[in-house]
Structure 1
Amino acid sequence: MNDQYYISAHCSISNNIVSYNNEAVFEGTGHDIPGFLLSVYQHLGVKYPKFYKMDNLAKLGWLAAEVLLKDFDKTKYQPTDIGVVLSNAGSSLDADKRYYDSVQDIASPALFVYTLPNIVIGEICIRHHFKGENAFYIFERFNAEFISSYVSVLLETGQLQACICGWVEMTATGYKAVLFLVEKEGATPFTTENINKIYSTANG
């Protein structure tokens, strides 16, 4: 691990709470998952009609990225210098199940589009015009060691100058997103220990 890289910002969305750098910025009450995600979108005051067409996983990751990048000056970098590396345990299973259910009647092309987990990366990159390296990995549980080593290699080899990375999981009954913005400047060293600490304390 190369300590020249830092977590310049981090955010989480879990248990009806949205946090940015360990501070709660929004708390929802009394909503199901789609209702909560919509309330976060409305709270952020973003005008992005495509949001309504996304599946829950894409909405979750997209919203987390909006919060993560709220103070980020992307003009410091070329679009190809900013990448996205995400992971989860369930892939796109939430959308897969919904699509399977729709097939019993009339298959839904709108759902089929989201039956790949990396679509959430595409939605983030389209929104922010990122064109750097991106990848989505599936693990049984959050794997901070892999994230720290893989992203560090991308930075060390000059493939990226900044990277959004972390965990975005959506199931029928729960969700958790924890994203990190990694750059060559910041206050918190980008280490496995710090990644795990932030993840484990993210909204319970």
Structure 2
Amino acid sequence: MDALSKLGWLAAEVLLKDTAIHLLAPEQTGMVLSNRSSSLDTDLRYYATVKEFASPGLFVYTLPNIVMGEISIRHGFKGENTFFVSDIFDTDLMSAYPAQLLAETPLQACICGWVEVMDQQYEAALFLVENKQRDNGIPLTAAALSSLYQQK
């Protein structure tokens, strides 16, 4: 795996550790992730290999949504997923879009957040949002996401 996929995969492991998400049907869990650099960190590494022999092992990671594929393979998720690229963690988008997915699709849970890797800079903030309100849950709003994750 490339660095972006490793970071997202590990963050998802921590996020989902003590959840009952595995009880949902595979089509009921989706993902909405975003970052600033897309897959540029891996793209640059891949481009460096093109000079002699293009690395197929790196080529497969030259799309940012591959991190969602790695998480989906690990957990068996088959729900809708989307990857956005923006300069900042867009709390309005990252609250409205998952809320719309939960309201209008078969999704019952959605992993959303920010997974960024560029050079030696790593950032990950994942959130699990669900249709079922939990006692310790917080509402899915831009303000709530801002309070949970503030970018530098």
TM over 0.5: yes
Q: Give 1:105 deviation, angstroms.
A: 1.6
SS at match of 1:117: coil
The residue number in structure 1 matching 2:75 is 128
1:85 equivalent in alignment to 2:32: yes
The residue number in structure 2 matching 1:199 is 149
The residue number in structure 1 matching 2:54 is 107
- In structure 1, the gaps of 5 or more residues are 1-53
CA contact (8 A) 2:95 2:140 kept: yes
SS at match of 1:189: coil
- In structure 2, the gaps of 5 or more residues are none
SS at match of 2:78: coil
Amino acid paired to 1:191 = T
For the aligned residues, what is the CA RMSD? 1.2
Q: Deviations over 1:116-168 (max 9, x none)?
A: 00000000000000010111011111101001000000111143110000000
**Overall identity of the aligned pairs, in %:** 55
The residue number in structure 1 matching 2:104 is 157
Q: Give 1:197 deviation, angstroms.
A: 1.1
SS at match of 2:71: helix
CA contact (8 A) 2:28 2:79 kept: yes
Q: Deviations over 1:84-108 (max 9, x none)?
A: 1100010000000000001112110
Q: Give 1:178 deviation, angstroms.
A: 0.2
The residue number in structure 2 matching 1:185 is 133
Amino acid paired to 2:139 = P
Amino acid paired to 2:145 = I
Counterpart Cα distance in 1 of 2:8 and 2:89: 15
Cα gap change, 1:156/1:168 in structure 2, threshold over 3 Å: closer, same or farther? Answer: same
Counterpart Cα distance in 2 of 1:64 and 1:75: 16
TM-score, normalising length from structure 2?
A: 0.94
Amino acid paired to 2:148 = I
The residue number in structure 1 matching 2:91 is 144
The residue number in structure 1 matching 2:19 is 72
Counterpart Cα distance in 1 of 2:148 and 2:46: 34
CA contact (8 A) 1:62 1:123 kept: yes
Counterpart Cα distance in 2 of 1:106 and 1:72: 43
Corresponding residue pairs, total? 149
TM-score, normalising length from structure 1?
A: 0.70
Counterpart Cα distance in 1 of 2:85 and 2:105: 25
CA contact (8 A) 1:133 1:159 kept: no
CA contact (8 A) 1:88 1:168 kept: yes
